[in-house]
Structure 1
Amino acid sequence: MIKNIRRSVIASGALVLFGCAEPEKVAEETKQDTRPDFNVMEDVSAKKQAFFDFLRPAVVAENTRISEERTFLLAIQAQTHAGQSINQSELDEARQLGDSYNLELTENQLTEQWLNKMLIRVDTLPEALVLSQAANESGWGTSRFAVEGNNFFGQWCYTPGCGMVPNARNEGARHEVAVFSDAGQSVHAYFMNMNRNRAYAELREIRAQQRASGNRLTGLKLAEGLHRYSERGQDYVSEIQGMIRHNKQYWQQG
């Protein structure tokens, strides 16, 4: 259930450094080997539909993966509440999952505190939020970084040669724009950024509160936690929320 991943350092947005995981092997359903040429599309509605349809399978794949991981954690939590022991296989899987989300087990102990923290991180994201940010950050798939580097979310990396150097990078800056082998990896990196980096703790808390109150997760609500995604702060949040509202006819969920 838990995919094998390797560590890299990626930033999403203009200001904050994040740790992010990229998959060594991306599931076939997330592979984006070919894509429409969004630059030549003149019909706005057709372009939007093509863009969302192109990225949606990768979003679905990520939410499916995360739902499976969350189901596992909830099952483990139910076992501990019932006083049932956790076997070694389950403990190993929990440890691997904790490593993926930067929340390692303490002294090899599966505690209620660890489970609660993990359940805040291991949760899905509404497609309306993900696809709106992808459209915003990539200029509807037309940016240099989307076209040449399959980077749809403005993610940065900091190892020399790890990506593409921005033309307008400030003097002394060392970041590059990350390059991915396909759009599915970019979507995966975005999900891991949102779910495990401290810059988005506010978004995760909003999501957890929505869960606790029994409310449906929506892109409009979770967008309130995006203040640190861009140096524009609240203006960026409002812009993403505006895109979610304006394009509501395209959303299949949230």
Structure 2
Amino acid sequence: MISTPIRRYGAAILMLLTMIFSGGVLAKTHTVTEHHKASVKKVSSTKVSSKQEYSRNSVKSSSLPDLRKYPSGTPRKRAFLRTVMPYITSQNAAITAERNWLVSKQYEGRWSPSERARLKDITTRYKVKWNGNTRKVPWNSLLERVDIIPGSMVATMAAAESGWGTSKLARANNNLFGMKCGSGKCKNGSGKVNGYTHFDSVKASVQAYAMNLNTHPAYSSFRKSRAQLRKTDQEVTASAMIHKLKGYSTKGSSYNNYLFAMYQDNQRLIAAHM
């Protein structure tokens, strides 16, 4: 029969061995866990780097980057859309804000000096004649011009005219829409494409394109078609407006058909970047 002191001594030894063994297992487990965390962190870092590689073309850069470094097809298209879509969205947001302000003032009789100045600025930029009398504001002409161009349509035209940002005109002039200079109005320097407008930034190119479609006499029918959609509470979409654009190309309706086919082929990709 084992005495009580011996039994206690044996239990103490057993407990000590258990603690030593458990400590070793815990230490090993901790080491493995830390190694696993390090591996996960390393993998995550690799994924972020890969994503950043395809996101370098961002709004941080004012000029169009060289998109030829991306493989043709979907990778290049995505890089192009990442570059231009923020400017398109921002431009339409600015137009919408001005349009909403005009609508809110349409039936108001009181105008502050700052509101008169704002209205004067809008009518000047959109080339609408106004004599300063707030009781005789040309609302129909204003609202026909101060309106958005569907973002998907703008992106499609930019892609078509610039070869998804790879044409020399796009790279050298930041000109995404093939916009020509007026007679004798621009003399581009070395490395630029002569006869076409040079823009300091992608943003400026998008702004000029939108203002061109919203003010030039050649696109009057486009604006009237858009206004008609507004009157009937229909959405102004790319599919509704592409075929309404006349006079943009000497190819006529075949150009519109080409744009529409291109829009359909890339509709999901464009929508994913809006």
Bin the TM-score by the shorter chain: 0.7 to 0.9
- Following superposition of structure 1 onto structure 2, how do residues 161-180 of structure 1 map, counting pairs within 5 Å? 161-163=186-188, 176-180=195-199
TM-score between both structures, scaled by the size of structure 2: 0.72
Are 1:98 and 2:123 an aligned pair? yes
1:251 is paired with a residue whose SS is: helix
Q: Given the superposition, is the C-alpha separation of residues 99 and 178 from structure 1 closer, same or farther in structure 2, using an over 3 Å criterion?
A: same
- Contact 2:162–2:176, Cα closer than 8 Å, also in 1: yes
**Bigger radius of gyration:** 2
Matched, 1:198 2:217: yes
1:125 correspondence with 2:149 = yes
CA distance in 1, matches of 2:266, 2:101: 34
Partner of 2:27: none
**Pick aligned residue for 1:52 from 81, 87, 104:** 81
- Does the CA-based 8 Å contact 1:66-1:123 persist in structure 2? yes
Gaps of 5+ in 1: 1-28, 169-174
Q: Give the corresponding residue for 1:222.
A: 241
Q: Map of 1:1-254 to 2, 5 A cutoff?
A: 32-33=61-62, 35-79=64-108, 84-106=109-131, 108-111=132-135, 114-158=138-182, 159=184, 161-163=186-188, 176-252=195-271
C-alpha distance in 2 between matches for 1:130 and 1:99: 24
1:178 alignment partner, SS class: coil
In 2, the alpha carbon distance for the partners of 1:235 and 1:74 equals: 37
Deviation at 1:35, TM superposition (A): 4.3
Give the root-mean-square deviation of aligned CA atoms. 2.5
CA distance in 2, matches of 1:68, 1:167: 35
CA shift at 1:223, angstroms?
1.1
Q: Secondary structure at the match of 2:196?
A: strand
Q: CA deviation at 1:40?
A: 2.9
1:31, 1:184 within 8 Å by CA — same for their partners in 2?
Answer: no
Note if contact 1:223-1:240 (Cα within 8 Å) is conserved in structure 2. Answer: yes
Distance 2:270 2:168 in 1: 26
User: Matches of 2:243 and 2:140 in 1, distance apart?
Assistant: 22
CA separation in 2, counterparts of 1:249 and 1:101?
Answer: 33
Deviation at 1:45, TM superposition (A): 0.9
Which ranges of structure 2 fall in alignment gaps of 5 or more residues?
A: 1-57
Residue 163 of structure 1 deviates from its aligned partner by: 3.1
Higher relative contact order (CA 8 A, sep 6+): 1
Kindly indicate which of the two structures has a greater share of residues assigned to strand. 1
- Contact 2:63–2:200 (Cα < 8 Å) also in 1: no
Residue 8 of structure 1 is matched in structure 2 by none
Q: TM-score, normalised by structure 1?
A: 0.77
Structure 1 Cα separation of the partners of residues 189 and 259 of structure 2: 25
Tell me how far 1:77 sits from its aligned partner. Answer: 0.3
- 1:37 is displaced (CA, Å) by 2.6
Q: Deviations over 1:3-40 (max 9, x none)?
A: xxxxxxxxxxxxxxxxxxxxxxxxxx966435443223
SS at 1:157's partner residue? coil
> What is the aligned-residue identity percentage?
28
Deviations 1:195-250 (A, max 9, x none): 11111111111111111111111112111222200000100111111111111112
Matched-pair contact (CA < 8 Å) for 1:35–1:54: yes
1:24 aligns with none
